[in-house]
Amino acid sequence: MFLEMVKKRNPELIDYAVSLHQSGQILPDTYVIDLDKIKENASKMSIEAKKLDIELYFMLKQIGRNPIIANALIEAGIEKAVVVDFKEAKIMMDNHIPIGNVGHLVQLPDHFIKKVMTYGVDYITVYSVEKLRKINEIAEELDIKQKILLRVIDQGDAIYPGQYGGFLLEELEADMTEFKSFEFCDIVGVTSFPCILFNQETKAFEPSHNVITLEKAKHLLEENGFCISEMNVPSATSVKTLPLIKEIKGTQAEPGHALSGTSPMHAEFELEEKPAYVYVSEISHNSKDSSYIYGGGYYPRGNLENVLIDHKANRSETKVKPFPSENIDYYLEIKNRQPIGATAIMAFRTQIFVTRSHVAIVEGLNSGAPQLVGIYDSQGNQIERI
C-alpha cells in the first residue's frame, strides 16, 4: 500500500531514486529520503500543534537519526528532538541539536547522565526511584533543577515487548515521600507509550488504555502536592491525531512516522503528510522462478509486499515473498525472474536505525531541480559517496 501512495503522491521521488541507482551514485540497500517533503510534513504539524497549544518533539530513529533532517525540522518549526536512547542522544549532542526529552523508551545509563544534563535537556523520563536519585545527585552537583517526566504503567496497558518498565500505578503513592526528598528534581509530568493506536477495524486512531493510566497518575500526583503540567502522549502523532491528543489532555507529542508519511493510516488514506522515502535495491541473481535483491534494510513489522522493477526505463511490479524474521536479510526473494542489475524500488514502514542501510538525502524535488545532499549510515554519520 505504501508503494501505491508514493506512486500517487510523490512519483518524482521514485524517478530520482531510480536515476541515482542507475547512474551509480547510490548502492543497493539505500533509503532515499525527500527532504522537501519531510519539511512540508513537519511544517503542517507544527502549525496545527501551535494552534492547539501542544509542544512537539521530533523522533528521528525511524529515518536514521540524521542531523541534516534534524536541522530541517527545526527550520520547519519543530524545535527539539526526543531521543529514543542514549546513542541517539549522543548523535544529537555531537551535532548541536536541542533535545526536549530523553530516557523515555531507553533509560539513561548512570555514566551518561551527567553528560546529557551538562548539555541541557528539557525533560528526563524516569522509570525508577533509583534513577531519579542518581539524577538528583547530579543536578545538585551541577546546581540545576531538572524537570522530570514519570513513566507510569498499569495492568491493561499496551506495552510492546522489549519496552517494559516504569512506575507501577498501584505503587506510585508509596514512592511519593521519597519523590519529595529530591530537591533538585522537579516532577512535572507523566508519560507512556503507545498512547494512540490505529484500529484496523474502525480505520481510526484511538486512545490506548495507557491514557487512562496517565490520567489516574496525574490525579494521584496532584492530590499529593505535585504540580503536573505535562501529559506526554507519544505515538501516531500527525495532523490527523493532534485534535485527539488535545482531547485526551495531551500537552506534548512526538511525531515520528508521520514526518515521512508512513503511519498505518497513511498507507490507506491521503492524509496531510506525504510519503517521503523509498527503499532502493538491485536484482542480484535469479534462481528457479524467483529473483533475489540485496537486503540489509528489511524490517519485520514493515509489511513489505510490493516491489517496482526498473530496467532501462521499462517498469513492472511484482511481490516480495515473506521473509522469516529469525534470519539475516542478505537477500530478499521476489516473484518471477528479473534482469540482473535492474533497480528495485520499495516503500514500507521501517526503523532505519536497526538496519545496516545507507541513507541518501535529496532535496529540490519540489522545484524540479533535485540534488543528492549526502549519504549517511543508519545512525546519522556521513559517509563517503561511491
Is 62 inside any structural domain?
no
Q: Are residues 92 and 220 in the same domain?
A: yes
Kindly state the DSSP code that residue 386 receives in the 8-state scheme. Answer: -
Is 207 inside any structural domain?
yes
3-state secondary structure of 139: helix
Q: Rounded to whole angstroms, how far apart are CA atoms 382 and 227?
A: 43
Q: Which of 222, 254, 286 is the last residue in one of the domains?
A: 254
Q: Rounded to whole angstroms, how far apart are CA atoms 149 and 147?
A: 7
User: Any idea what the CATH number is for the domain that residue 196 is in?
Assistant: 3.20.20.10
Instruction: State residue 303's pLDDT score.
Output: 87
Burial 179-213 (b: 16+ CB within 10 A, else e): beebebbebbbbbbbbbbbbeeeeeebebbebbbb
Q: Rounded to whole angstroms, how far apart are CA atoms 174 and 258?
A: 39
Q: Rounded to whole angstroms, how far apart are CA atoms 306 and 50?
A: 38
Q: Rounded to whole angstroms, how far apart are CA atoms 299 and 350?
A: 6
Is 59 inside any structural domain?
no
Q: Are residues 108 and 225 in the same domain?
A: yes
Cα 360 → chain centroid: 17
**252-284 pLDDT per residue, tens:** 999 999 999 999 999 999 999 999 999 999 999
What is the torsional sign of CA 204, 209, 210, 216? positive
**166-209 pLDDT per residue, tens:** 999 999 999 999 999 999 999 999 999 999 999 999 999 999 99
Cα 338 → chain centroid: 34
User: Any idea what the CATH number is for the domain that residue 335 is in?
Assistant: 2.40.37.30
Q: Are residues 13 and 161 in the same domain?
A: no
Cα 161 → chain centroid: 17
Which residue is listed with cell 526473494?
333
**284-331 pLDDT per residue, tens:** 999 999 999 999 999 998 989 999 999 999 999 999 999 998 999 999
**What's the one-letter identity of residue 378?**
S
Write the Ramachandran bin of 75: left for phi over 0, alpha for psi from -120 to 50, otherwise beta.
alpha
Q: Rounded to whole angstroms, how far apart are CA atoms 206 and 274?
A: 22
Instruction: State residue 164's pLDDT score.
Output: 95
**210-247 pLDDT per residue, tens:** 999 999 999 999 999 999 999 999 999 999 999 999 99
- Residues of the domain holding 284: 2-34+271-383
Is 266 inside any structural domain?
no
User: What mean pLDDT is reported for the chain?
Assistant: 97
**Closest-CA residue to 123 (of 193, 207, 185):** 185
Q: Are residues 132 and 232 in the same domain?
A: yes
User: 382-383 and 306-311: which strand pairing?
Assistant: unpaired
256 close to 303: Cβ distance less than 8 angstroms: no
- Cite the DSSP H helix spans in the chain: 2-9, 11-22, 35-52, 67-76, 86-94, 110-119, 129-142, 172-179, 209-223, 242-247
**What's the one-letter identity of residue 274?**
K
Q: Are residues 125 and 180 in the same domain?
A: yes
**What's the one-letter identity of residue 105?**
L
Domain tally for the chain? 2
